[in-house]
């Protein structure tokens, strides 16, 4: 987590850009396409099809653990998706891993979000800034 102080604007910004980039690098997702939602709409984690295969639980658990740490910082909108996927950490299937990759793609798209706190006498008390370049 990075804390940046701007004396001129009298603000403090908190972000996890570096951490999220390291997580994406660890799971070889640095060049993945970005997603606009943390989880697919209508995702049914319990609907395992016949063609689904068991997935390596260690890799799955490492990914969920890394994402859980990111929940402690500025992107609180991933809490629900992480909680749902964490239920399958003991016995994940490829369907669940695809959902984790979707969540990592979402983190890539929102990794530049910062939580900024301003002096209330000169501006808003709290704002979330997202640079969508």
pLDDT at 32: 92
Q: How many CB atoms lie within 10 A of CB 24?
A: 19
For residues 56-83, one letter each, b for 16 or more C-beta atoms within 10 angstroms of the residue's C-beta and e for the rest, the string is eeeebeebbebbeebbebbbeebeebbe
In tens, the pLDDT along 42-88 reads 777 666 666 778 899 999 999 999 998 887 766 667 888 888 899 89
- Dist. CA 79–CA 123, nearest whole Å: 29
Contact by Cβ (8 Å): 109, 6: no
CA-wise closest residue to 24 among 66, 69, 80, 85: 66
Assign 111 a pLDDT band (cuts: 50, 70, 90): confident
On the 0-12 / 13-18 / 19+ scale of CB atoms within 10 A, 8 is: exposed
In tens, the pLDDT along 2-20 reads 889 989 888 888 888 899 9
Assign 22 a pLDDT band (cuts: 50, 70, 90): very high
pLDDT at 133: 47
């Amino acid at each position: 987590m990075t804390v940046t102080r701007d004396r001129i604007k009298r603000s403090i910004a908190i972000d996890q850009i570096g951490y999220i980039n390291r997580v994406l690098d660890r799971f070889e997702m640095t060049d993945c396409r970005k997603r606009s939602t943390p989880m697919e709409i209508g995702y049914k984690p319990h609907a395992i099809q016949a063609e689904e295969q068991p997935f390596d639980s260690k890799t799955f658990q490492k990914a969920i653990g890394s994402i859980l740490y990111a929940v402690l910082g500025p992107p609180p909108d991933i809490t629900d998706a992480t909680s749902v996927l964490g239920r399958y950490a003991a016995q994940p299937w490829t369907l669940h891993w695809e959902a984790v990759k979707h969540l990592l793609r979402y983190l890539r798209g929102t990794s530049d979000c910062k939580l900024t706190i301003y002096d209330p006498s000169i501006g808003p008390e709290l704002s979330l800034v997202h640079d969508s370049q």
